[in-house]
């Protein structure tokens, strides 16, 4: 294994706990420690999600043009961690909303930066395999962090997750510096196949969505996937915390660990087989499992059942996480638009996730948790049908096929 690949392994492992901020632990902390209601929790999480949405496309464009990708990750990791650590000091609605918004803006750097560094180091031919490995190490990092969070919360209470995040942030900064800066080809990192295309591509914002039908379809399906998916784990966490207040964070950690452990082989399978099997059958499988998961949660309130069903998240999210950069790379190869396109699609992804929290929170308040889970399952089913009917297979059959999907790039 080369130093470059070892650096990427460490970066994905240690950044796993930082890139999503407090994630579902925020809902448990606000519910059990600060005594917020479900609707207020959903609203503040949506506010942070909206800030992330606004930042995604500019972040992708920034990663396209900057040659300081490692520095961008380091600064973003510091900001996300600082915004989360301030919450116990200022737990009011306005400070939490502001902190989550700033953390969301900073976190928008991570996904395009890691994908760009990976593409810039490995090149297009090895990108599929390496993306699966990235996701596997990311999920392994999440699993280890969740075990530590669960153990720490059992001893110290929900506040333990704040200390853990600070430690992981320091480790992620060290891992970023371990990736050799000179190993990154910044032209390849933005989606150009080689250095002969300098000046050929036009970094764009939302226009990359408007000029390409497959990207529009993919964006719509991504919205539906994350609309259905984003609220499920926080809702499970709330149910577990209400029934087992003293063990809410520990049980949530168990949910995360189980899902993340399942995601590791799922991501590796995608990385190993997506070029052979194609992207579409794998993505449809992810949608089907997401719908099934939402339908199974209402069957029982037993903690063992809820934690067990959460294991299905490992398959669906593992498939999606590994496929997302691959499909975007398929549609943008040779155009120099890879990272800004990631940002534009991530804007759609964030829109679905942000709306999901508010939507589910309102249903919980008016009709209960079971109704919320079934509504989310129905949305996943709609997404599956749209993807099956309208989304083409994007797997390239030659070095030029994927670039032809999006059309010729216009000079800047």
What domain count does the chain have? 1
Assigned domain for 128 exists: yes
Q: For residue range 34-82, what is the model confidence (pLDDT) as tens digits?
A: 788 777 887 887 788 788 888 988 999 899 889 999 999 999 999 988 8
Q: Would you state the pLDDT for residue 18? A: 80
Q: Which residue has the tokens 């990272």?
A: 339
Q: What six digits make up the tokens of 209?
A: 């969505």
Radius of gyration of the chain (CA): 20
**Pick from 145, 353, 100, 101: which is nearest to 249 by CA?**
145
CA atoms of 13 and 5, how far apart (whole Å): 12
**Pick from 236, 312, 229, 240: which is nearest to 49 by CA?**
229
CA atoms of 270 and 260, how far apart (whole Å): 15
Q: For residue range 329-376, what is the model confidence (pLDDT) as tens digits?
A: 888 877 777 888 888 888 888 778 778 888 998 999 999 999 999 999
CA atoms of 172 and 92, how far apart (whole Å): 29
In the chain, DSSP finds a helix count (H) and a strand count (E) of 18, 0
Assigned domain for 293 exists: yes
CA atoms of 353 and 45, how far apart (whole Å): 9
Q: For residue range 126-169, what is the model confidence (pLDDT) as tens digits?
A: 899 999 999 999 988 888 887 887 788 778 777 778 888 888 88
Q: Would you state the pLDDT for residue 405? A: 46
CA atoms of 371 and 388, how far apart (whole Å): 26
Q: For residue range 244-289, what is the model confidence (pLDDT) as tens digits?
A: 666 666 777 777 778 888 989 999 999 999 999 999 999 999 999 9
CA 333, 335, 341, 343 torsion-angle sign? positive
Lowest mean pLDDT among 95-109, 214-228, 346-360: 346-360
Q: Which residues contact 86 (CB under 8 A, 6 or more apart)?
A: 95, 99
- Tell how far CA 332 is from the center of its chain: 20
Given pLDDT bands bounded at 50, 70 and 90, which one contains residue 403?
very low
Q: Would you state the pLDDT for residue 245? A: 62
CA atoms of 380 and 294, how far apart (whole Å): 9
Q: What six digits make up the tokens of 3?
A: 């130093």
Q: Would you state the pLDDT for residue 24? A: 65
Q: Would you state the pLDDT for residue 248? A: 63
Helix 338-367, helix 110-122: angle, nearest 10 = 140
Q: Would you state the pLDDT for residue 339? A: 86
Q: Would you state the pLDDT for residue 198? A: 46
CA atoms of 64 and 58, how far apart (whole Å): 10
- Kindly report the CATH number assigned to the domain that includes residue 272: 1.20.1250.20
Q: For residue range 20-33, what is the model confidence (pLDDT) as tens digits?
A: 766 667 777 787 77
Assigned domain for 155 exists: yes
Q: Would you state the pLDDT for residue 355? A: 82
Q: Would you state the pLDDT for residue 166? A: 84
Q: Would you state the pLDDT for residue 246? A: 62
CA 31, 35, 38, 39 torsion-angle sign? negative
Q: For residue range 119-131, what is the model confidence (pLDDT) as tens digits?
A: 999 988 889 999 9
Q: Would you state the pLDDT for residue 409? A: 40
pTM of the model: 0.78
**Pick from 118, 130, 136: which is nearest to 267 by CA?**
136
Assigned domain for 192 exists: no
Given pLDDT bands bounded at 50, 70 and 90, which one contains residue 208?
low
Q: Which residue has the tokens 């959903």?
A: 42
Q: Would you state the pLDDT for residue 410? A: 40
CA 193, 199, 200, 202 torsion-angle sign? positive
Cα separations in angstroms, 99 against 162, 183, 246: 14, 35, 26
CA atoms of 29 and 26, how far apart (whole Å): 5
Assigned domain for 190 exists: no
Average pLDDT over residues 227-254: 78
Helix (H, G, I), strand (E, B) or coil at 37: coil
CA atoms within 13 Å, Cβ hemisphere of 127: 27
Assigned domain for 196 exists: no
Assigned domain for 412 exists: no
Residue range of the domain that includes 89:
3-185+203-406
Q: Would you state the pLDDT for residue 221? A: 93
Report residue 83: phi and psi, to 5°.
-65, -30
Longest dimension (CA), the chain: 61
Assigned domain for 411 exists: no
Where is pLDDT greater, at 36 or 412?
Answer: 36
Q: For residue range 4-18, what is the model confidence (pLDDT) as tens digits?
A: 888 899 999 998 878
Q: For residue range 368-384, what is the model confidence (pLDDT) as tens digits?
A: 999 999 999 999 999 99
């Amino acid at each position: 294994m080369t130093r470059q690949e070892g650096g990427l392994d460490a970066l994905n492992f240690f950044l796993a706990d930082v890139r999503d901020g407090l994630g579902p632990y925020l809902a448990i902390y606000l519910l059990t420690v600060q005594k917020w209601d479900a609707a207020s929790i959903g609203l503040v999480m949506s506010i942070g999600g909206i800030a992330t949405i606004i930042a995604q496309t500019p972040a992708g464009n920034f990663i396209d043009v900057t040659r300081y990708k490692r520095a961008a990750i380091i600064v973003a990791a510091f900001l996300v961690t600082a915004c989360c650590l301030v919450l116990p000091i200022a737990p009011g609605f306005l400070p939490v909303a502001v902190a989550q918004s700033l953390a969301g803006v900073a976190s928008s750097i991570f996904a395009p930066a890691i994908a760009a560094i990976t593409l810039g180091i490995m090149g297009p031919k090895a990108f599929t395999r390496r993306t699966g490995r990235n996701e596997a190490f990311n999920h392994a990092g999440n699993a280890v962090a969740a075990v530590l969070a669960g153990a720490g919360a059992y001893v110290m209470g929900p506040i333990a997750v704040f200390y853990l995040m600070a430690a992981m942030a320091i480790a992620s900064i060290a891992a970023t510096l371990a990736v050799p800066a000179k190993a990154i080809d910044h032209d390849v990192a933005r989606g150009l196949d080689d250095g002969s295309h300098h000046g050929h591509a036009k970094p764009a914002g939302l226009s990359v969505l408007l000029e390409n039908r497959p990207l529009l379809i993919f964006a719509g399906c991504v919205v539906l996937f994350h609309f259905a998916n984003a609220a499920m784990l926080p809702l499970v966490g709330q149910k577990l915390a209400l029934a087992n207040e003293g063990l809410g964070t520990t049980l949530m950690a168990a949910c995360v660990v189980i899902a993340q452990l399942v995601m590791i082989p799922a991501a590796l399978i995608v990385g190993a087989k997506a070029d052979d099997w194609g992207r579409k059958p794998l993505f449809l499988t992810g949608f089907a499992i997401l719908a099934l998961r939402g339908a199974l949660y209402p069957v029982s309130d037993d903690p063992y059942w809820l934690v067990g069903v959460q294991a299905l998240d490992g398959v669906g999210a593992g498939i999606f996480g590994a496929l997302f950069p691959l499909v975007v790379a398929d549609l943008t190869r040779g155009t120099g638009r890879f990272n800004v396109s990631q940002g534009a699609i991530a804007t759609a992804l964030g829109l679905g996730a942000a709306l999901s929290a508010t939507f589910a929170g309102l249903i919980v308040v008016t009709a209960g948790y079971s109704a919320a889970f079934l509504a989310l399952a129905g949305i996943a089913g709609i997404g599956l049908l749209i993807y099956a009917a309208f989304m083409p297979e994007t797997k390239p059959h030659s070095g030029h096929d994927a670039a032809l999907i999006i059309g010729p790039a216009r000079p800047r």
